[in-house]
Structure 1
Amino acid sequence: MFSVTASAQKKVALPHGMVYGTKPGSIGLKKASELEDFMGRRTRISAVIVGKVLRVTKPKGGWFELDADSGRVIRAHFKNYNVTLPVELKGREVIIEGVAAKQFIADDQQHMAGDTVVGKKQHEALANPKKRLVFEVTGLMINK
């Protein structure tokens, strides 16, 4: 006779209202799909957005991707590296607060120079149109 021991991994319960980082505000709440249009020509903006998590890319440091509709993706990460997100966050609706920035290709190693055209070179030339926004998160709350 022999015995078989089966152990199942415990599924992490992610209740509505669970907060990672600081609790995000609700003033000026926008949908993730509206963020790029709301930014207009600005390269960086503080915002509070709501959207669906596509996947958690790196749990340590809180790296994840947010759905911005029409195949567009907002890549997000926490400002504070000490935050660890569970991979079970995939498919959940979240409210996040932080700073959104447009991705651009910097010329001559001038990464902080801004989003301008210099000579014949254009910053937007190599940027993926589906992954143009990066979001530095200060707080996340599970909404649904």
Structure 2
Amino acid sequence: MFTSVIKRTLITVSFSCLFTLNVNAQKKTALPHGMVFGAKPGSVGLMQASKLESFMGRRTRTSAVINGRVIKVTKPKGGWFELDADSGRVIKAHFKNYNVTLPTALKGREVIIEGVAAKQFIADDQQHMAGDTVKGKKQHETNTDPKRRIVFEVTGLMVNK
């Protein structure tokens, strides 16, 4: 009688330990390679995030597929995050579709994102949405913060590493 009670408790303890180890292992690999948020990004024209600004040249907006490391997830709902562009520069990114929720565990992971990159500009006459008009040329020449020059509207993100 006494040995059967000991056997049952040992079996119960061993199963609970195995379950706990399995749950902990799942938490560490919560974002596996290839996990996709939004639409799956393409790989045609893939470039490093540090080369995006030079790729854009004088254009204010362009479609691109870039590869970079996530600095931090600023707002999980809506998919707002910051991407490292080297030399202290940061690309602020957010999803076009607000229904995307990013996990905060994405911090420090390498991702591939696809979408539209746009340069920020300062409107000196409070016409932020005016676009490229005659006055718009002056707006694009004004200097913005060099660490926060590019905003990226993401349509798809894939965890790379």
> TM-score, normalized by length of structure 1?
0.86
Residues 93, 152 of structure 2: 8 Å contact kept: yes
**1:62 corresponds to:** 79
Q: Return closer, same or farther for 1:30/1:131 CA change in 2, 3 Å cut-off.
A: same
**1:105 corresponds to:** 122
Separation (CA, whole Å) in 1 of partners of 2:91 and 2:38: 19
The AA in structure 1 aligned to 2:47 is K
* Greater helix share, structure number: 2
Residues 99, 135 of structure 1: 8 Å contact kept: yes
Report SS of the residue matched to 2:27. Answer: coil
Q: CA deviation at 1:122?
A: 4.6
Separation (CA, whole Å) in 1 of partners of 2:140 and 2:60: 12
Please give the per-residue CA displacement for 1:67-107, whole angstroms capped at 9, x wherever unaligned. 00000000000000000000000000000000000000123
**Unpaired segments of 5 or more residues in structure 1?**
1-8
**1:37 corresponds to:** 54
Q: CA deviation at 1:11?
A: 3.4
Matches for 1:1-144 after TM superposition, within 5 Å? 11=27, 13-114=30-131, 118=135, 122-125=139-142, 127-144=144-161
Identity %: 81
Q: CA deviation at 1:36?
A: 0.2
Count the aligned residue pairs. Answer: 136
Residues 67, 74 of structure 1: 8 Å contact kept: yes
After the TM superposition, which parts of structure 1 deviate over 6 Å for at least 4 consecutive aligned residues? Answer: none
Separation (CA, whole Å) in 1 of partners of 2:141 and 2:107: 30
Q: CA deviation at 1:124?
A: 4.9
Q: Return closer, same or farther for 1:27/1:91 CA change in 2, 3 Å cut-off.
A: same
CA RMSD of aligned residues (A): 2.3
